[in-house]
Structure formats: structure tokens, C-alpha cells
Structure 1
Amino acid sequence: MGILAGKRILVTGVLTDASIAFHVARVAQQEGAEVVLTGFGRMSLVRRMAARLPRPAPVLALDVTDTGHLGSLAERVGDHVDGLDGVLHAIAFAPQSALGGNFLHTPWPDVATTLHVSTYSLKALTTACLPLMGPGASVVGLDYDASRAWPGYDWMGVAKAGLESCARYLARDLGPHGIRVNLVAAGPLKTVAARSVPGFEAASWDEAAPLGWRADDMDPTARACAALMSDWFPATTGEIVHVDGGVHATGA
């Protein structure tokens, strides 16, 4: 019996098997969960990734900026599972003008897109899923330490700071319903999203991390997400769990 046995989990943001979301879905299935995936854009690729999981998973299209997609999400998920015990928010996007050292010159429309997709979508996704969620359910979002101004991260860093605040407010408002909201702040991982950030470099992280760090190993992050969606953290909400080898704690 895995820690997610009998759980029904919605995993967003799967694109390739080099995405954190794919590995969360894999670990969730290995721990006994029934998984439904969502993707955006290249849906044929997402379906191919779904077929690579330990068990094939249904795939739904979801554009978190589309009110129609959000409004029909609960019904579409309900075609595959009769409720949700966990939701993974693994959605972020910034136009290139919002990254790479252009912070002072990024136009508002591109900033707005970054915040809409990367920050507000946590609230939008969560409320879209609420009809399927009950006491004991868990929402987990993917974060990147927003306490510092990282080179090249620019407006995505601002969006992540907003994501952290959004998660706290959701935890406050959904706590009375018995629903937990937490974030996992991973160290730099070699994902498709990371490669789109100019100047992304993970090599020095291993030297700084007390536990060491492997940028090609998604498993620790995926396990943390699975644990937070399990019943093993029943009184934890509004938290940021760092999975970064300890860099956040050392000042390195």
C-alpha cells in the first residue's frame, strides 16, 4: 500500500518526461494514486508522455487563462474520477522580454501575462477544482525560492513571490473546508522551462548544497509533492517545503 493508495490526483503542466509534473505523476501512480493529466498546446506530445507512465492516464486540455476551460474543468475531470484528493499546480510562463536581465524594460502586457499564467492561475485552478474536493484534499504548487533576485529570472521571480503569497491566502480561506495548500520550492532542475531562462546554470548549486544537488534528478521533488498530497501532513498548510539540498538555509 503506497501513501497515495486510493487517492485521485490531478497533475497539470506535463509536457515532456523532463518536466517535474511528469515525475510527480509517475511517483503518484507508484504510490497508488489514480492520476488525471492536463496539458496545454502540444497535446499529442502530452498524450505520448501519458503513455510512458507506469499506467496510461487520461489527458485533458487546460488553458488556465481561458475561463471556458476553467469553468468546464470539474465536469471534464469528473468524467474520469468521482472526486479529487490532490491537485498539482505546475504551470508557469513568461515571455522572453520578461526574462534575461530585461527587468527594467519589460512592458506591462508581458508582465501581466507572466503574473496571470504563473501566479493567478494557482487561485484559478484551485477554485475550478473545488467542486471535486473535500476535507483532506491537498493542493501543491511548484515554486522557486523567491526570497532572492536571481540572475535572469526577473519577472518570473516576481511571479513566484506572488505565488507564495497566493498560496498563503488560499491556505487561509480553504482551511475551514479542510483543504491544504502548500508549495515545493525545488533547486534548479534541467527542465524545459529552466532552459528557457537565459543564463540558467545549476552547476554551482551542487557545490553550495550541504546535501549536494543533482539537477537531472527530479525524484526528490516529485516525492515531496506526493508526500504533501498524502495523509502524512494533515496539519500542514501555507508552507513552503524546500527541496534544494539545503541551499536556502545556508546563505550560499
Structure 2
Amino acid sequence: MTSPHVKLDIDATREKLDALGLGYANEALDALLAEAVSIEMPAHQFLERLLDTERAGREERRIKTMLKTSKIPTGQTLENFDFAFQPAIERSRIETLATGAWIRNAEVILLQGPPGVGKSHLLVGLGIRAIQLGFSVQYYRFDELLTAIKADGDLPPTRLKSRKYMSSSLLLIDEMGFDPMNLEEAGLFFRLVSYRYARGAMIITTNKSIRDWTELIAGDEVLAAAILDRLLHRSHVLNIKGRSYRLRDLEELLTKQSA
């Protein structure tokens, strides 16, 4: 039975932990104290365990918050990507990118290929890994990005650079290429690419090959060349060719129904 004096000491410790903002340590205090007593844990080891609990709790909270504010779709990670189904993608190359070194160097990943081959899954998985590594990340479908940059078209540079699509360490642009840009949109996209060049990393998924970008960028060869020059200078281009995951699922469903 815990003596009144010990309980008072623990309550005082709780108050101090709360005053210091160590909420996760406070929640774990009773369990860790019980464990420490039962195995005669040295004081320094107990303190380390208490601090590790606080740090782990804060890190989990940070990741949850960043995942929410980044607008990244849920459910797709590098761990659940089916590399066996898509042999065109080198697992070792993705694992190298997952270290995040290219983000520190403000480089670009361009994921090209037809619909359904896993481009968006890799974009999301690498985005989640970037958050786990401590980078700020923002996700946009390409049509959403165009809406945002057009709404901010008249902002002065001092205000524009605070927008998340400009300031995030990693900008994720998904599903580019289904509809061509008009000249205004292409000019605004060029402004974004120019600002982020050597400042912030990007991942872009597209169903268009590089040779088709002129058609995508308002038919303007000069503007297309200027955008590609900045995107490809420090880039990792992955051309994904293979079967569609969605068609695979449909094929499996039809096979089951016909069995």
C-alpha cells in the first residue's frame, strides 16, 4: 500500500511535470514507477525511460498533426507498396529516396506513367516518410494547386512566399497532365517552379512524358522549356510502365465471380 507521504511526493512530481508541459511523462509516471520498483531500476535508467516516453509521445503527436495539415491522403505507405506487382520500380532506388537526402538538396522527383501503376502511392508514401523525418510537407492535386495559385495571382512576393505551396520543404503535386493549362495558369505554374528551384523539393506525378509537356503547358514551347529546365536540373525521373493496380483488382473480382 502506498504511504500518504509517497502519494504526496508523487502528486508534487505530477504538478511539476504538468508545469513543464511534460504531459506524456505524467501519464506514464505510475506505470514506470511500478516497473522501476519491481525490477529495482537504477535512477538514471528510470529518468531516461521517462524522458523517452515524453519524446515518443511528442513525436507521435507531431506526425499526426503534420499528416493532417499536409492534406496527404491516408492509407498508402511505402511499407504497403506492392513492389512485386510493379517490377519496373527499383525497390533500392525508392529506399534511397526514402532517406530524404534529396529533400535537403531541394531536388525534384518526377513520376511518369499511365494511370493506375502506383505513381500516387509512391508520392504519398514518400511524403509520409518525409514528415516522419521532420520535413514540412504539403499535398495538392494539380487542379487544386492551379486554383490556389490563381487565387493568389496578384499577391506581392512578400506575401506569396508564406503560402504553403511555396514555403513547405516538400511540395507534392499529384495527377498533373489530365487537362492542359491555359497561358495564365502556365505562367503562374512557372512562377511557382522558379521560386522553389533550389529552395524546396517537389514530387510530381504525371501521365505525360517529358516530350509532351509543350502540349500540357498551353502549347508554349518556350515556357515549357523554361519549366522543364528548372524541374529536370536536379531531378530523379522514374518512368513507370506496367499493369494497373486498379485493373488487377477488377480482374481478380471478375475471376472470382466467374468461378
The structure with higher relative contact order (CA 8 Å, sep 6+) is: 2
Which structure would you say has the larger Rg?
2
TM-score by length of 2: 0.30
Could you state the TM-score of these two structures normalised by the residue count of structure 1? Answer: 0.31
